Structure 1
Amino acid sequence: MTQSRSSLISLDDTTYYHCISRCVRRAFLCGEDKYSGKSFEHRRQWMVERIRFLSNIFSIDVCSYAIMSNHYHLVLHANESDIASLSDKDICHRWLQLYSAPPLVARWMKEELTTEAETNAALEVIGKWRARLLDISWFMRALNEFIARKANKEDNCTGRFWEGRFKSQGLLDEQALLTCMAYVDLNPIRAKMAETVEQSEYTSVFERIHGVCSKSESFENKSSNKPLLGFKAFESNEQVEAIPYAFIDYLELVDWTGRVIREDKRGAVPEQIPSLLSKLGLNSETWIELTQTFGQHNHVAVGSVEDLALFAANTGKRWIARKKLQRIIH
């Protein structure tokens, strides 16, 4: 049974969400179709450019992404401090980059309204836009609808391009966020599309290392875009929006995990364990398993028992199920 998005997303519990969209049947988002021999590689760039464009408009940061052949992953952060800092005119300028303005708001922007009732009505509309610019569902809608239309036009066809609604997982604590980001960044290595994180094009870890999303992209293509959400060290007391790890620690962990996965030797985990695992108290064997299976189960949220209990209460869930060291809401 389809659940309402309000029962799947609760910003009161977490502002971090893992989102996934898949293409219908054998439709190709990117990559090469072995049946027709046609290449869709150029669509990877479509995806990255649209994601960058939308992250400039919405108060939503991109923590990690991976663009695969028939699906993609995003880890998104709803930036409440950013939306709170925007004036009503800022909201209008952002929203109107995507949609047209109703006459009433257009007149408000030109300061042509003459009555308090008209002004209040215009401000009510702008208030709805403000909420939508922090809404992950609206972000995903603006992304998926655009790509679907563009792909269908190129394929000279109509109908569904995406396999229903996008799936989302709430990441309720630092362990869940770290595991999910690594799972997303390691997608090409698990799929044997790349041998190392340095070669994993169209992933956030590749972009963080090289400054671009692929070897063929120039730096000029992203110069005016908002960067990926940054990292900060555990010891930092700065009150800024950032992923609560040091980037060098995260990179070490992802590189180490990628090498283990690529070697495909169960029980042969290298002795030198990345320091970030120790800081978070995660077992190395469990970590390897989680980073290979994290997205294979349709769980609404991942986190500690306490955080999941609160999430269940706030989203109308009635039970919590256990899965290994994590508790996950179904």
Structure 2
Amino acid sequence: MTIARSRQISLADTPYYHVVSRCVRRAFLCGQDDHSGQSYEHRRQWVADKLGQLSQVFAIGICAYAVMSNHYHLVLKVQANMANEWSEREVAERWSRLFQWPLLVRRWYQGEELIAPELEVVHQLITQWRDRLYSISWLVRLLNESLARQANQEDGCKGHFWEGRFKSQALLTESALLACMTYVDLNPIRAGIAATPEESDFTSIQQRIEQTADLATQTPLLLPFAREGKPETLPCSFADYLAFVDWTGRAIRLDKRGHIPHHLVPVLQRLGMNEEQWLGHVTLFRRQGIRAIGDKVCCQRYAAHCGQTRCHQPHL
């Protein structure tokens, strides 16, 4: 049975969520159509450009992303505290980058004197906009609507481009977050599209590697990893995360025997996991029907906050 989106998001338990949105059957987001010979590779840039635009407006950080041929993955951090700290004028300015203001809001912004009922309407609108600016549903909605319009216009057709609902999974622990980011960044390698992370086009791992090599290319699209002297945004350093991705990419391939580099062991120990548990975390994201990933206590607390008697998801 379909569960309302409001019952799948619990910011009291975690700000981190894994989102997957897929095209309808036989529709191409990107990639090459072998039947017609048509290439849709240029659409990957559409996704990256729109994500960059929305990340500058919403109080939602992007931890990881991967653009595949008929779907995309996002790992998001909802930053509700940031949105609640914005002034009403900043909320209105951010919303104006997405939609036109009603005349009443324009008059208020320009400093015109309004009567009490008019001011109440303005305050109600801004409160509504503030809530939407840290809503995953609104971010995905604007991303998908933009991509669907562009794709349908290019294809000369009408109708649905995306499946009815996007999939979301709550990431309740640090290990679940890092495992999901690793899973997302390894998608092109598992699909045989790329051989290494640095060759995985339109993924967060490639973007981070390029930004590390050339500081001039840095953009605010992605949340930063922990750095000395800086507040921790993601719960490990980029060097440790690269070790996660490299080791997991080798170990998960059936035709090669992976091994654990000695410098990776302390990181896994800090997460309280062994190698088998880590690989189990990463493979969970391929399974259908999983709404939350985390340990038993976190899953039970998440279920209670979402109005469920129990969480039917696996916990590690």
Range class of TM-score, shorter chain: over 0.9
Contact 2:247 / 2:261 at 8 angstroms: preserved in 1? no
Tell me which residue corresponds to 2:170: 170
Partner Cα separation in structure 2 for residue 106 and residue 312 of structure 1: 42
RMSD: 2.1
Q: Describe the shift of the 1:95–1:306 C-alpha distance in structure 2 as closer, same or farther (beyond 3 A).
A: same
- Establish whether residue 279 from structure 1 lines up as the match of residue 270 from structure 2: yes
For 2:145 and 2:226, locate their aligned partners in 1 and report how far apart those are by CA, in whole Å.
34
The amino acid of 2:158's aligned partner reads: T
Change (3 A) 1:37 1:293: farther
- Counterpart of 1:315, as a letter, is C
Residues 1:5 and 2:5 are matched in the alignment: yes
The separation in 2 between residues aligned to 1:139 and 1:322, in whole angstroms, is 25
* Secondary structure in structure 1 of the residue aligned to 2:38: coil
1:229 to 217, 223, 226: 223
Q: How far off its partner does 1:142 sit?
A: 0.7
How far 1:196 sits from its partner (Å)? 1.0
**2:145 aligned partner:** 145
State the alpha-carbon separation in 1 of the partners of residues 233 and 215 from structure 2.
23
Asked if the contact 1:172/1:304 (under 8 Å) is kept, the reply is yes
Give 1:264-303 correspondences, 5 Å limit. Answer: 264-265=255-256, 268-272=257-261, 274-275=264-265, 276-303=267-294
Deviations 1:28-65 (A, max 9, x none): 10010111111000000000000010000001100000
SS at match of 2:252: helix
Partner of 2:125: 125
Note if contact 1:14-1:170 (Cα within 8 Å) is conserved in structure 2: yes
1:187-220 CA-to-partner distances (Å, cap 9, x unmatched) read 01111111111111111010000129xxxxx998
2:299 is paired with a residue whose SS is helix
Q: Cα offset for 1:80?
A: 2.3
Partner of 2:19: 19
Counterpart Cα distance in 2 of 1:211 and 1:42: 22
User: In the alignment, which residue of structure 2 is the partner of 1:197?
Assistant: 197
**In 2, are the aligned partners of 1:189 and 1:262 still within 8 Å (CA)?**
no
**Aligned counterpart, 1:102:** 102
1:260 Cα deviation after fit: 2.6
Q: Deviations over 1:273-317 (max 9, x none)?
A: 523222212221332343244232321111111111111111111
Equivalent residue letter for 2:223: L
Per-residue deviation, residues 68-110 of structure 1 (Å, max 9, x unmatched): 0000000000112321331111111110111111121111111
* Match in the other structure for 1:69: 69
Instruction: Report whether the alignment pairs 1:248 with 2:242.
Output: no
After superposition, the Cα gap between the structure-2 partners of 1:84 and 1:237, relative to the gap in structure 1 and judged at 3 Å, is farther
Q: Tell me: CA distance 1:138–1:146, structure 2 relative to 1, closer, same or farther (3 Å).
A: same
- 3-state SS of 2:61 partner: strand
> Hey, what's the Cα distance between the residues in 2 that align with 1:84 and 1:51?
22
Conservation of the 8 A alpha-carbon contact between 2:176 and 2:281: no
Structure 1 unaligned runs (5+)? 213-217
Contact 1:66 1:203 in 2 (8 A): yes
Q: SS of 1:49's equivalent?
A: helix
State whether residues 304 and 310 of structure 2, in contact with CA within 8 Å, keep that contact through their aligned partners in structure 1: no
8 Å Cα contact 1:57-1:94 kept in structure 2: yes
Change (3 A) 1:112 1:73: same
Whole-angstrom CA distance in 1 between matches of 2:153 and 2:5: 29
| Cα separation, partners in 2 of 1:264 and 1:73, compared to 1, 3 Å | same
Q: Which moved more, 1:177-186 or 1:289-298?
A: 289-298
Structure 2 length-normalised TM = 0.93
TM-score of the aligned structures, taking structure 1 as reference length: 0.89
Give the counterpart letter for 1:53 in structure 2.
Q
2:89 match: secondary structure: helix
- The number of residues matched between the two structures is 313
Confirm whether residue 185 of structure 1 aligns to residue 176 of structure 2: no
Confirm or deny: 8 A CA contact 1:196 1:259 kept in the other structure. no
Partner Cα separation in structure 2 for residue 23 and residue 253 of structure 1: 30
